[in-house]
Amino acid sequence: MEMLVTKFSHGKYRNEGDLFNEPISSQNVKLMGEMIALQALRTVKKYDMKVADRLYIGLIKDLHHMSEIDYIVSDGYDVAQTAICFLYQFAGRKVSEIYGKDRKGKEISIKLACYREVDNELMRYRRKMEKTSYIDFTSYKALPMDPVNCFEHEQTDYSKYDELLDALHITELELAILNCYMNGMRQSEVCAELNIGRGTINHRKASIRLRYYSLYGMY
């Protein structure tokens, strides 16, 4: 992501830390929303959402070509627009500031609230696509190289993940914790992002692990 932030900011930001450390403004909110959308899609496409991989590839293509005349953005950019519109409400504030409280009464940051808004948009998109049959004639062979996975297509059985979540009765907080770890966060970063203690995180992880063992045995 650092390479993309540097490229699309024309060198203004070295990495995401530099970008998100600034207050939200009309000058940076577009890039912030795009980076949040990319990270959300990159995470989701690994374990959920049959359409997430297509949206992710489309968004990468949009970011490289949307400045070209007559270029038409893909559905993937709708995800970025969702993040951009959400963040723009908080112009002048930093994404690390408190947004409010979740259903559990826990305080969450503006950035985490934005990720959840994007997740909700992806769920709506997924339900829509489940009701729609389509043939995709798009060829992605000429797309720019993805600095992380070079557009490797991952064949994932998403139904198994859905069944696993249902069987384990994953709560909203537990799913948020899992998402943070899937984003590559360390425990200290998860604590800061979700505003919870290490004990809560360890307890939730242990609870998930025990439920898994009781259903499927040791792995």
- The enclosing domain of 205 has a CATH number of 1.10.10.10
Rounded Cα gap, residues 211 and 167, in angstroms:
9
Q: Is the same domain home to 17 and 118?
A: yes
Task: Indicate whether 146 belongs to any domain.
Answer: no
Which residues share a beta bridge with 109?
98
**Helix (H) or strand (E) segment spanning residue 126:** helix 110-130
Q: Which of 25-29, 132-136, 157-161 has the highest mean pLDDT?
A: 25-29
> Which of residues 96 and 159 earns the better pLDDT score?
96
Query: Taking the CA of residue 216 as centre, how many other CA atoms within 13 Å lie in the half-sphere pointing to its CB?
Result: 11
- pLDDT attached to residue 30: 93
Q: Among 106, 141, 176, which residue terminates a domain?
A: 141
Tens digits of residue pLDDT in 91-150:
999 999 999 888 788 899 999 999 999 988 888 877 777 666 554 545 544 455 555 444
Within a 10 A sphere around the Cβ of 106, how many other Cβ atoms? 16
At residue 156, does pLDDT exceed 60? no
Question: What is the domain count for the chain?
Answer: 2
Task: Indicate whether 147 belongs to any domain.
Answer: no
At residue 152, does pLDDT exceed 70? no
Q: Is the same domain home to 137 and 161?
A: no
Q: Is the same domain home to 187 and 108?
A: no
Q: Is the same domain home to 134 and 36?
A: yes
- pLDDT attached to residue 34: 93
Q: In the structure, what pLDDT confidence band is assigned to residue 89 with cuts at 50, 70 and 90?
A: very high
Task: Indicate whether 102 belongs to any domain.
Answer: yes
Q: Is the same domain home to 130 and 175?
A: no
Give me the mean pLDDT over the 69-89 stretch: 91
> Which of residues 99 and 155 earns the better pLDDT score?
99
Domain enclosing residue 78, as ranges: 1-141
Q: Among 141, 176, 203, which residue terminates a domain?
A: 141
Task: Indicate whether 151 belongs to any domain.
Answer: no
Task: Indicate whether 148 belongs to any domain.
Answer: no
Q: Is the same domain home to 14 and 96?
A: yes
Q: Is the same domain home to 133 and 161?
A: no
Q: Among 117, 141, 165, which residue terminates a domain?
A: 141
Q: In the structure, what pLDDT confidence band is assigned to residue 166 with cuts at 50, 70 and 90?
A: confident
> Which of residues 78 and 53 earns the better pLDDT score?
78
> Can you point out the beta strands (E) in 18-168?
98-101, 107-109
| Burial class (CB within 10 angstroms; exposed 0-12, middle 13-18, buried 19+) of 15 | middle
Give me the mean pLDDT over the 29-39 stretch: 92
Give me the mean pLDDT over the 174-187 stretch: 78
Q: Decide if 87 contacts 110 (C-beta within 8 A).
A: yes
Q: Is the same domain home to 99 and 179?
A: no
Q: Is the same domain home to 10 and 80?
A: yes
Q: Is the same domain home to 4 and 37?
A: yes
Q: Please give the structure tokens belonging to residue 84.
A: 């951009």
> Which of residues 147 and 62 earns the better pLDDT score?
62
* Average pLDDT for the chain: 79
How long, in residues, is the chain? Answer: 219
Task: Indicate whether 33 belongs to any domain.
Answer: yes
Which residue pairs, CB below 8 angstroms and at least 24 apart, start in 16-21?
20/94, 20/95, 20/96, 20/111, 21/94
- pLDDT attached to residue 99: 92
